Amino acid sequence: MSQRTPLAEWHENNRGRMVDFAGWSMPVQYSTIVSEHLGTRKGAGVFDVSHMGRVAIEGSQAAEWLESRLTRQVRDLPVGRARYTLITGVDGTVGKVQLDGTPVILDDALVTRLADKKNGTQRFILVVNASNRQRVVRWLEACLPPEGVTVNDITEESAMIAVQGPRVFGHKKDDAHEGPLRCVFEERILEQLAALPNYGALETQLGGERVLVSRTGYTGEDGVEIILEASQAQGVWQELVEEGGAIPCGLGSRDTLRLEAAMPLYGHELHEKTDPFSAGLGFAVNIDGRDFPGVEEIRTRRGESDRRRIGLVFESRRAARSGDQVMFSKNGMDFVCGEITSGSFSPTCERGIALAVVDRVVLEHECELEVLVRGVRLPVKIVSLPFYRRPRHD
């Protein structure tokens, strides 16, 4: 039986089409994927992302320990800031850790540093993918030092809501009162939230309970993600929708939005054996002077990858799917040079778009590419990423 988020009943009572996703009952859409997508691009969309794993990590040596677990440097992460990172482990049965196993990418994640406790205890929140949450938690627990660090999975006792779009704060930083968040937070807190930089985070109070609000998201738009107590979720959601005018959005539009923003999805752009450099994620791997699982193997790939992630745009609305072959022709012969990792119709571009990984030599020779979509070869154009970049307002 699928797990239910604190908002599942609201979704069911408000035309949410529910599906099983990574073991959770989640809304894939309420109206149409296109209307929810464009509503987020033009206004403000609200997403239940409570299925994402939330893991609290605390201890006097928490930063030092995370430094040895994550591909992204942590020791210099300021309080109130988040970073995108990969989590590497070793192949084999987690729980009976084989330290001589083959290094693998267990997940990608966001790590946020919170303020230390008065006794000096360091605090972090790690947000991971729903499908990988349990194995990531098992892996982290199996790698704990003898003392000083704790790993606490708080997913089921909390909720997470994303509010995304140009109307979240208004067009100016000093117009925070114009966005849907005005119905949830008082003006003083709204001003603090509007002043946050990208990947900034603020711990604050809401209804007498502590909440964490971060200037992050998975849509390519401005916005926030709110981690709060499960008991608060429905009240906050209803205020955002019924009073703030935010559009309820499901997993379908969340996926098309993240694809236009060229953001990776584990299971598509990322797998256990993915080379982060060929996937365009070299920025998430700090190698020099670091020691995390698989660092030596990843170090050997730096600058040596023979594959590259690219963006493709089709001439029509027809879309490719993950696994479709990317091809080119030479001297009357056909060659497969890569594969689609994610593809969809783009409501913003009004064309089919796709992310793909292809042989680097194809790019160096500027070959004309086609994609084999359900037996039909469709011409594509290579474009710079992301497909969509939000306008900058004064």
- Cα distances from 71 to residues 75, 160, 247, 274, 288, in angstroms, run 12, 25, 36, 14, 11
Confidence (pLDDT) at 148: 86
- How far apart are alpha carbons 390 and 198 in whole angstroms? 13
Instruction: Please answer whether residues 261 and 346 qualify as being in contact, where contact means their C-beta atoms are separated by less than 8 angstroms.
Output: no
Confidence (pLDDT) at 2: 93
Confidence (pLDDT) at 93: 52
What is the edge-to-edge ordering of all strands in the sheet holding 158-164? Answer: 201-206, 209-214, 223-229, 158-164, 45-48, 247-249
For the chain, how big is the Rg over CA atoms in Å?
Answer: 21
Q: How would residue 97 be classed by pLDDT, with cut points 50, 70 and 90?
A: very low
Question: How crowded is residue 62: how many other Cβ atoms within 10 Å of its Cβ?
Answer: 22
Q: What is the mean pLDDT of the chain?
A: 93
Whole-model pTM: value is 0.95
Angle between helices 251-260 and 33-42 (to 10 degrees): 60
Q: What domains can be seen in the chain, in order of their start residue?
A: 3-49+158-260 (3.30.1360.120), 53-154 (3.30.70.1400), 306-394 (2.40.30.110)
Q: Which residue has the tokens 């964490």?
A: 212
Confidence (pLDDT) at 300: 86
Given a cut of 90, whether residue 392 has pLDDT beyond it is no
Mean pLDDT of 131-148: 92
Mean pLDDT of 150-155: 98
Q: How would residue 170 be classed by pLDDT, with cut points 50, 70 and 90?
A: low
Given a cut of 90, whether residue 257 has pLDDT beyond it is yes
Given a cut of 50, whether residue 54 has pLDDT beyond it is yes
Confidence (pLDDT) at 91: 67
Confidence (pLDDT) at 96: 43
Confidence (pLDDT) at 32: 98
Give percent above pLDDT 70 in the chain.
Answer: 94
- How far apart are alpha carbons 350 and 363 in whole angstroms? 25
